[in-house]
Amino acid sequence: MSGSNPEHAGWFTDFDPENVEAAATAISEGEAGEPQNWPERAVQSGLVDDEDEYYRVLREATRRATREAVTERERADDQQLTHAIRAMDDAERTANELAERLAEWAGSLERDTPTGIEGARAVTAWSAETPAQERVVSLAERVVGLDAERADLRSFVESHAPEVAPNLAAMAGPVLAARLIALAGGLEPLAKKPAGTVQVLGAEDALFAHLRGHGPSPKHGVIFTHEYVRGTHPENRGSAARAFAAKLAIAARIDHYSGEYKESVHDDLDERMAAIRSREVGK
């Protein structure tokens, strides 16, 4: 809302009705003291000839404002982190799948060919003498290149996650923090999730199977990869997962709403995990 009298000026005040960018900004950033008959006021102000034209201008402006909001959201740091962790996983999965194919193909040409990514690196050193060998070497180079891209993406995640979510990255580790943010759809959605939901992020299939009566309730999702859960005795793993998820949820909220590192939440987690693991002494 703009104009000298905010109580009576509409979003359409003081700009050219064909200036969609200005209209979108007014709609996104403006506010009104109380509801008004805006179509009638727009006609009275001379902005438009009739209400149909008012709604045409409004529709174009709101579409522009929505596109700009979506674009801004996609450019946000947490969304870049989400894209990076997903790309890293895609690169790793594709490299491993192609490495399996490569090992089978290369093994048909030369016995005792190593497997996996290291096998692909070995194949890149072949001196190709046949068209088939040329293709195998070329495929090996692609596999090695994908693995290198995976490593570069991981480095980006490890350096970027602490900037986006300092507490979450310190508590979970940069890669797990990025996975949680990606699974939640962003840092803000993660910050708004209860601890119980954070605990099972990544275990949606198992959770849905449980809700359909086809399996037990999952105790954890991707947080299992963290030492605090994976390294705890199975009898106490449920308690560890709940405690860890509770602190992760708090860390996400601190990161979203303040962005400042808070040592006390990390100390609390360490103390809680020490108490849980003390139960294992003497077993």
Q: Are residues 169 and 259 in the same domain?
A: yes
Q: φ, ψ for residue 99 (rounded to 5)?
A: -65, -35
Q: Are residues 108 and 206 located together in one domain of the fold?
A: no
DSSP 8: T
> What Rg do the C-alpha atoms of the chain give, in angstroms?
28
Q: Token pair of 137, please? A: 């070497």
Q: How far apart are CA 283 and CA 233, in angstroms?
A: 10
User: Do 191 and 272 reside in the same domain of the chain?
Assistant: yes
pLDDT in tens, 213-262: 656 666 778 999 999 999 999 999 999 999 999 999 999 999 999 889 99
User: Mind listing the pLDDT tens digit for each residue in 101-151?
Assistant: 999 999 999 988 899 999 999 999 999 999 999 999 999 999 999 999 999
With 0-12 CB in 10 A as exposed, 13-18 as middle and 19+ as buried, what is 57? buried
Residue 124 included in any domain:
yes
In a domain, 11, yes or no: no
Residues 280 and 200 in one domain: yes
The CATH number of residue 146's host domain is 1.10.287
Q: Are residues 173 and 154 in the same domain?
A: no
CA distance 23 to 15: 8
* Residue pair 137/121 in contact by the 8 Å Cβ criterion: no
Domain assignment present for 10: no
Of 89, 117, 100, give the one whose Cα is nearest residue 222.
Answer: 89
Together in a domain, 176 and 275: yes
Which domain does 185 fall in, by range? 165-283
Structure tokens, 238:
């449920």
Q: End of a domain among 161, 193, 224? A: 161
Last residue of a domain, one of 59, 75, 91: 75
Residue 132 shares a structural domain with residue 170: no
Domain count, the chain: 3
State the CB neighbour count (10 A cutoff) for residue 210.
15
CB contact set of 206 (below 8 Å; sequence gap of 6+): 200, 215, 218
Tell whether the model's pLDDT for residue 206 goes beyond 80.
no
Domain boundary among 113, 134, 161: 161
- CATH number, domain containing residue 249: 1.10.246.90
